């Protein structure tokens, strides 16, 4: 018997758990970052990132990194981390990686963008958690 694919609500729960696993010094600065789960990124987003297929984007940080924020900047929307359910589920099925681990990896990467981290710094955060 085949089980149904995890819902957007389940992906959201896993994302919230992933954030709860982050070191406190990072969690403390994420209160204003919204989380959302969509099936796919929209065409405008894909075009802006020069991504041909919606299946190739599992997550995205929308917003100004903390390193670029200022009290003088006004009118910015709150930062958002978007997870894209269908590409995540596809990667999960293709790789056999645990879904919780996959979502944690994507969350770490997108949170890293919020902090203005390099890819190397993001990998170090993940490695410290294992």
pTM, 2 dp: 0.84
* pLDDT (tens place) for every residue of the chain, 130 residues total: 566 789 999 999 999 999 999 988 888 888 889 999 999 999 999 999 999 999 999 999 988 766 555 555 566 678 899 999 999 999 999 999 999 999 999 999 898 887 777 777 777 766 765 5
CA 98 to chain centre: 16
Residue 30 lies in a domain: yes
Range of the domain at 22: 8-66+77-129
Residue 1 lies in a domain: no
pLDDT at 16: 96
Give the CATH number of the domain where residue 104 resides.
Answer: 3.30.2010.20
Residue 71 lies in a domain: no
Residue 97 lies in a domain: yes
pLDDT at 50: 95
CA 51 to chain centre: 17
Residues with Cβ within 8 Å of 36's Cβ and at least 6 positions away in sequence, in order, are: 80, 81, 82, 83
Domain count for the chain, please give it: 1
């Amino acid at each position: 018997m085949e089980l149904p694919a995890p819902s957007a609500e389940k992906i959201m729960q896993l994302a919230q758990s992933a954030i709860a696993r982050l070191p406190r010094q990072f969690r403390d600065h994420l209160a204003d970052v919204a989380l959302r789960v969509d099936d796919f990124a929209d065409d405008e987003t894909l075009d802006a990132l020069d991504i041909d297929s919606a299946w190739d984007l599992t997550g995205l940080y929308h917003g100004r990194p903390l390193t670029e924020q200022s009290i003088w900047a006004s009118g910015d929307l709150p930062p958002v981390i978007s997870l894209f359910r269908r590409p995540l589920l596809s990667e999960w099925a293709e790789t056999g990686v645990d879904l919780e681990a996959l979502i944690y990896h994507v969350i770490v990467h997108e949170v890293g963008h919020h902090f203005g981290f390099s890819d190397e710094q993001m990998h170090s955060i993940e490695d410290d958690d294992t």
